[in-house]
Homo-oligomer: A and B are copies of this chain.
Amino acid sequence: MLKLFLQTHCSRAATSLTSVPAGPTCVASRGPLCVCVGLGPRSYLGIINVGAINFFCNYEESRGNYLVDVDGNRMLDIYTQISSIPIGYNHPALLKLMSNPNNLSTLVNRPALGILPPENFPDKLTESLLSMSPSGMTRVQTMACGSCSNENAFKAMFIWYRNKERGHNTPSEEDLSSCMVNQAPGCPDLSILSFMGAFHGRTMGCLATTHSKAIHKLDVPSFDWPIAPFPRLQYPLEEFSRENAQEEARCLEEVEDLIVKWRQKGKPVAGIVIEPIQAEGGDNHASPDFFKSLRNIARKHGCAFHVDEVQTGGGATGKMWAHEHWGMDDPADIVSFSKKLLTGGYYHRDELQADKPYRIFNTWMGDPSKNLILAEVLNVIRRENLLEEVTRSGKALLNGLYDLQAQYPGMLSRARGQGTFCAIDICDDATRNSILLKARDKGVLLGGCGDRSIRFRPSLVFKEYHVHIFLNIFNEVLAQHK
């Protein structure tokens, strides 16, 4: 029966009829995705939530930049599991690592890292996460996923803020008793300022700072926290520097107004959270000056500054962290990560360390087997100079997108990117979704973001010749649509 399931729903013909494009959909969406939504999650044996499934994959046969489906179709993967595969599929260095019997124990004995870490955990942390610490940060807290990373980063900011308000670390009796029943002052009315279009995850704290698509938030209770506009820039950035600077100034002014307003409301802003490039929300960029000013505003108003690099971190912008492009010694108080880093977590400045044990804590607090793989991924990145490769491929990709945009002005606009972390807008949502499906039928897997953008998220082993393979196919798809 399972075989039948796979055969029925995973052949190329079937997937074309029943699948959604490789990007989040929206409650009100039209076009090919409705076919799948219409089929509903009750099909497929009714065992799992499968409404979003594109197709089933043969990961054994997948290699490097190529993902293979269960029918043996081989696709150039420029979406890489929502940007979470750092060095391609089945990299020989990782296969070798996982075949090493010395690593078996790490795979079968998952510790409670916060209380009983393995002997080699400090070494593995030093080889992996600590070898790439953002400037100004020497501390890291691992977590199991991106949402948990952001949730705990928020908690660290709340704890820091309240201790600052108290002037000391000792809670009152009233703090201790009121927090047990969810009430102030123990559970204070503090807020996190986020940006319209942001995506920081889907657990309830994160979700209160996520504002990219209604489908993520609908029907879930939330917090009355301030939401600032994210700059809506014109591209290419260098051609619109005056207009863009004005737009950024407008947004920064709004941020300060909101901080003041929420303080007056009795819900002070403990922290500001922002992505270096709003990814899920449509690949929205802002200038280094914008982030520098925002960092200063945070400091001026006593708010912690949290840079969410869950999607941007790990090398795709041509630097390990997107915030490195800002050129700051002290870019943030907290930097969270996940996806390409294979483990979730966050770096933080010393003062954001919770004052007592068990305040930031859970059973697993990460997974040492992922740190093991990450350490080897970093070896490969260094040995193969992958950040330079990304910069080179990224240039070729963006130039190619500029060319196509000139060639199809009615269909394409706003090509933009940093490294291979690129995107382009399509004239409308329906055309975008149709292009995504056609590209897949021609062997290229892409993802959408925002209302009508396509985002490019290849792994770090995406070379210039892969860019040209992609551009040729993309050109063919666009030509058919013209």
Binding site for B on A (CB under 8 A): 2, 5-6, 20, 22, 24-25, 27-28, 36-37, 41-42, 45-49, 51-60, 62, 67, 70, 81-82, 84-85, 89-91, 94-95, 98-99, 101, 104-112, 114-119, 121-123, 125-126, 130, 138-142, 144-148, 151-152, 154-155, 158-159, 161-163, 171, 175-177, 179-183, 186-191, 196, 201-206, 208, 211, 214-225, 227, 338-339, 342, 350, 353-354, 356-364, 369, 373
Contact = CB atoms under 8 A, between A and B. Distances in A.
A474 to B, nearest CB: 21
A221 B158 contact: yes
Contacts of A20: 115, 357
Q: In the assembly, how many copies of this chain are there? A: 2
Given A24-B361, A41-B353, 14 more contacts: A53-B114, A56-B118, A57-B116, A57-B117, A59-B119, A82-B363, A147-B362, A152-B203, A159-B220, A171-B218, A181-B211, A182-B225, A187-B222, A203-B205
A55 B119 CA distance: 9
A244 to B, nearest CB: 24
A191 B393 CA distance: 49
Contact of A146 (B27, B176, B362): B362
Contacts of A142: 48
Tell me what chain A mostly uses at the interface: helix, strand, loop, or mixed. loop
Given A60-B105, A356-B27, A362-B146, A186 B217 contact: yes
Contact of A202 (B94, B147, B215, B361): B361
A94 B353 CA distance: 37
14 contacts: A22-B116, A27-B171, A47-B139, A52-B358, A56-B119, A107-B369, A155-B204, A175-B219, A176-B214, A182-B217, A186-B217, A187-B222, A202-B362, A204-B208
A333 to B, nearest CB: 15
Nearest to A344: B144
A115 B58 contact: no
A329 B161 CA distance: 49
B59 A122 contact: no
A28 to B, nearest CB: 7
Contacts of A342: 110
Contacts of A356: 25, 27, 37, 51, 215
Nearest to A25: B358
B357 A221 contact: no
Nearest to A61: B105
Contact of A41 (B62, B176, B216, B357): B357
Contacts of A158: 219-221
A105 B90 contact: yes
Contacts of A106: 59
Contacts of A125: 47-48
A6 B117 CA distance: 11
Contact of A214 (B84, B186, B353): B186
A280 to B, nearest CB: 10
A154 to B, nearest CB: 7
B205 A205 contact: yes
Contact of A2 (B126, B154, B359, B362): B126
A115 B82 contact: yes
